[in-house]
Structure 1
Amino acid sequence: MSNSHQPEVRPYLITKKLVPENQETPIHFINGDIVSNRLFFRRNHFPYPRFASSFYFLPIEGLVHNPKVFSLQQIYSLPSKTIKVVLECSGDKRELFNPKVYGEQWGKGAISQGIWKGVPLRSLLAHTGLLDTAKEIVFEGHDYGERPDSSQLYRFSRSLPIEKALDPDTIIAYEYNNQPIPFKHGFPLRLIVPGWYAMASVKWVKKIIVIDKEFKGPFQADDYVYYPNKENDSGKFPVTTNNVNSTIKYPLNRKLLHSGVYEITGIAWTGNGHIAKVEISFDGGQTWATCQLTSSSKKYAWVCWNYKWEVLKKGEYNILSKATDSKGNVQPLEPMWNRKGYGYNAIDRIKVKIE
């Protein structure tokens, strides 16, 4: 009997919350290194904004020589930059922290990757100029609402230090994978900050303001801050660069397998430099073997890796993966525990049973 009429089986996003919408990428079922619009993870603090995008303008104001309002047409006409970037929610893998932490309990799928095209932010700022007193650049999103700790209305706003804002790879993007950015991912304009956790890549950019002090908005001063102490705020510091990390995609955790030869696959990424090597262990980390990197290791992009595993003996196996980047950062055995559960990057581990 022909199978030609059987429906195609496709993965779906993994829903964590519907309002505001928070959904994970089914990372274990993503092949290659580009995630489609449909399967790109969704992270929102507020409901989706409402605005008439046909009348969309982007003002740059504050401590600039010439405040300016850019139309979309002007932005599209400027020299563009295209860049492949991992965007990882800083709460990715939060559910793995021990002791447990409050917040959206993301598994391993609050991460996606694709090709963004836009205008380097520094090109736009070249049209306005910066005053000597400029210290940070604030990006206001169109999305707003109440925070859990307050009935006051807040807009999602974040800042970048001048050096990061002027990095040639920091762009105001308008395309994802050669299409206009999907509305749910920031259409028509989204800031993309390669190498930093995704909260920095503000969606639906409404306004850019240059300031001469530290920005104190709640999504900068309260959230997206590492609090290493359970009882107080001592030692706190901001969430910025992606930690070196890896995820085993196949086999799935707690899978039953027969003895034989298996190709173990995964991804690895870092915000610093590029991935230099990925290692794998089958004995709980006592010994490590080097994996093969199957995609080129580029700055800002994840690498795909694999390892051929021949297993003949029955029993339970702990499989661990550990990435090292070109700056010498190595995944730790334990994550840096912090009160809000950001930046989890401990060695990835799964268990399988050979029957």
Structure 2
Amino acid sequence: MASKEIEGDWYLGWADRKRIQLAASKDRHDRVINARTPFLDQEGLITPTDASYIVAQLNVPEPVHPDDYRFEVFGEVERPSAFTLSDIRKFPARTVRAVAECAGNDTNFWDYLKSREQGGNMAKPSYRIESDWNASWWAEKGEADIKATSADSAEPTITCYLSGGEWTGISLSSLLEAVGLKSSAVAVRLEGFDEGRPDPAMQYLSVGRSDFQVYDPGIINYDKGLPIEKAMERDTILAWAQNGDWLTHVHGAPLRLVVPGWAGNWWVKWINKIEIMDHMPDCYHQTYYFVSGKSPDDPNKAPMTALGVKTVITEPLDEDSPLAVGEHVIRGLAWSGEGAIARVEVSTDGGLTWRDAHVEEHGDRFLWRRFSIVWNANTPGRYTLMTRGTDERGRVQPVTEWNFQRKHFDGIVPVDVEVI
């Protein structure tokens, strides 16, 4: 066994296997603000907390001690109230298991598939994390510097911003019912302690170019306006625990929002206040960023909410090629933003024919499911492996159309291998 597989002086768990760890990037103050999950190395469905991905849209706030924590609920309610963490923990608890995925995860694959279709030679983005990009590069650049730089030439590989987790807290609906929603309630605006000026570089990075004007809201707190229907779903929760333990600060302690099926930017961390409104608020991160549309000038841009249907082959990978003639197992993960995965099909001939894979059963609608199928590769040659998922609503991968910010990628990504 290679020495890199040994962790320190101890064999932890399965002999000779290292525990999965985050690939982290730090800001200029040496704080982790960005980290990717090496999910290919994950054996179970729940990603360890210390390996769960991290994205901070604004400045990470200073920690608030749980004993000092307090937030207000106000607006279109009968009984505006303030709550402590102890107050929240008096409500009936609810535990939810789900995939958390950044809206921008796998952004590069939009361009890769386009290049592939056109006969181009763009390198395929990798799910195997060998090194990580320096997140502070963008933060330390001024807007003029960014505009003078070709965004796509400096673009990092944006993969592995996803994790499977278990969150414990209370249904947001329980809190809203306790304060008495008025019939005029349309949206629930949740605001975090994190604040700052949204970095225009993030929009340039997502679009892959910088020849357009980004709206500047100035210094703001991170906030999202959740439609009342989604807020009232029992699996939309305010969580104080992750994976059986108290939330860590970087993951949103003392209290964060969990919105199963919707992209991670809806999962507001460090809850500071909750305002019930009679209209949808004009939040930056759903009016100007994380929006659909054909271009920055598209007048029909809309907030992006639920994720599509997605499958990822975790074994074999392109870099595992060549494979020996014989029997191999094609394995992977599948999930959907609108319910449980019902079916996964696998093709070994570039999509000409498909076979049903075995899909692991469990009771969590928004948590990914493992799939596998035995492949008898008895003839030497080059093969293109593909998978596609179908969820319980009948949506078939891919669901999401190309959008100018290249969010919510759920395309079918081929794996090219040679058998010898």
TM-score range for the pair, normalised by the shorter chain length: over 0.9
DSSP-derived class of the 2:337 partner = coil
Residue of 277, 280, 298 corresponding to 1:233 = 298
How do residues 276-355 of structure 1 correspond to structure 2 at under 5 angstroms?
276-296=342-362, 298-332=364-398, 336-355=401-420
Match of 1:81 among 79, 94, 102: 94
- The AA in structure 1 aligned to 2:196 is G
CA-CA distance at 1:93 after TM superposition? 0.9
Aligned length: 352
Deviation at 1:131, TM superposition (A): 2.0
TM-score normalised to structure 2 length: 0.78
Q: Which residue of 2 aligns with 1:27?
A: 39
**Alignment deviations for residues 236-295 of structure 1 (CA, whole Å, 9 cap, x no partner):** 222111111111111122322222222211110112231110011111100011100134
Deviations 1:100-127 (A, max 9, x none): 9979755441111111111111111122
Q: What secondary structure, in the 3-state scheme, does the structure 2 residue paired with 1:254 have?
A: helix
Cα distance in 2, alignment partners of residues 118 and 112 from structure 1 = 18
Which residue number in structure 2 is paired with residue 217 of structure 1?
283
- The whole-number CA distance in structure 1 between the counterparts of 2:85 and 2:279 is 29
1:124 aligned residue (175, 183, 188): 175
| Equivalent residue runs for 1:1-355 within 5 Å | 5=9, 8-15=17-24, 18=27, 21-53=33-65, 54-98=67-111, 105=156, 107-149=158-200, 150=216, 152-227=218-293, 229-230=294-295, 232-256=297-321, 257-296=323-362, 298-332=364-398, 336-355=401-420
2:318 match: secondary structure: coil
Percent identity, please: 31
- Structure 1 pair 60–135 and aligned structure 2 pair: CA distance change class (3 A): same
- Retained in 2: the 8 A contact 1:16–1:104? no
Cα distance between partner residues in 1 of 2:156 and 2:82: 40
Q: Is the 8 A contact 1:16 1:106 kept in 2?
A: no
The 1-side partners of 2:314 and 2:384 are apart by 14
* TM-score (normalised: structure 1): 0.92
Aligned to 2:147: none
**Structure 1 unpaired stretches of 5+:** none
Compare the two structures and name the one with the higher strand fraction: 1
For 1:231 and 1:183, locate their aligned partners in 2 and report how far apart those are by CA, in whole Å. Answer: 34
What secondary structure, in the 3-state scheme, does the structure 1 residue paired with 2:414 have? Answer: strand
Q: Which amino acid in structure 1 is aligned with residue 271 of structure 2?
A: V
The CA deviation at 1:12 is 2.8
Partners of 1:115 and 1:221 in 2: how far apart?
Answer: 29
1:33 CA displacement: 0.5
Q: Which amino acid aligns with 1:220?
A: Q
**Would the aligned equivalents of 1:190 and 1:202 in 2 still touch at CA under 8 Å?**
yes
Q: Which has the higher helix share?
A: 2
Whole-angstrom distance in 1 between the partners of 2:25 and 2:406: 16
Of stretches 247-256 and 279-288 in structure 1, the one that deviates more from structure 2 is 247-256
* Worse-matched range after superposition: 140-149 or 27-36: 140-149
Secondary structure of 1:242's aligned partner: coil
**What letter corresponds to residue 110 of structure 1 in structure 2?**
Y
**More displaced stretch, 253-262 vs 78-87:** 253-262
| Root mean square deviation of aligned Cα | 2.4
